[in-house]
Amino acid sequence: MIRFSVNINKFATLRNARGGNNPDVVKAAIDCERFGAQGITVHPRPDERHITYSDVLQLKNVVTTEFNIEGYPDQRYLKIIKEAKPAQATLVPDGPDVLTSNAGWDTIRNQEFLKDIISELKKTGVRVSVFVDPQPQMVEGAAKAGADRIELYTEPYAREFLVSPEIAVKPYIESAKVAHSLGLGINAGHDLDLHNLKFFAQAVPNLDEVSIGHAVVCDALYYGLENTLQLYLRQLKA
């Protein structure tokens, strides 16, 4: 069974646009779990434009499934991980001025940096995942740096899926095979949705987890949150 982690950043974006606490991000996380989510993902950025430091501290006390915290591994992020002690820390290469993650790590160029960060994070007992493009050499670099998992960046797949699903998914299949051979777990995320998720999940071998946020919130506007989560879970079970 491929685990479904819901990224709740967009709930926080909506709340912050108006101020106050509507929607309630903590309640959203609890409801997502109640409706079938097997994990909750957040990405607390330095400017707190969506998930805030306070949100993370509250969520660590209520999330009963897998808590996954994404972020660029600066000192602020390391402090958050040490305090929240999530199940998983996902390292992404984007700086504070980036709107959303748009590339994976160059795990070769950043090998020593990642190795040091991963070693420090593992002292806290968290599982470490590294966000990478679907390139075997980047997967190998993540393994060499000591990662437990990779998260395959799926925006290129989502874009090319509209032209040719078979061509779009090919590099992900190859990268997943390399990851599995190296003992890495395999996650995936970014622009996966109800249109392209089932094909991806069926094609990519040994997939452990998908993280989806933006599409879930968009679909929930039409289908309702509980129904939306069930629709996504069905794509992963098929």
Of the residues 43, 140, 151, 209, which is catalytic? Answer: 43
Catalytic annotation on 43? yes
Name all contacts of 75-78 with Cβ < 8 Å and 24+ positions apart: 76/46, 77/44, 78/117, 78/120, 78/121
Please, which residues have CB within 8 angstroms of residue 110's CB and are 6 or more apart in sequence?
Answer: 93
Of the residues 33, 50, 70, 140, which is catalytic? Answer: 70
Classified as helix, coil or strand, 104 is coil
φ/ψ (deg, to 5) at 42: -135, 155
Question: What is the residue-wise DSSP string for 19-42?
Answer: -TTSS-HHHHHHHHHHTT-SEEEE
Of the residues 50, 140, 151, 190, which is catalytic? Answer: 190
Q: Which helix (H) or strand (E) holds 89?
A: strand 88-91
Catalytic annotation on 226? no
Beta strands in 101-223 (DSSP E): 127-132, 149-153, 185-189, 209-212
Residue 36 — left, alpha, or beta (φ > 0 → left; ψ -120 to 50 → alpha)? left
CA 236 to chain centre: 16
d(CA 191, CA 214): 8
Catalytic annotation on 66? no
Would you please indicate which residues are annotated as catalytic (active-site) residues?
43, 70, 190
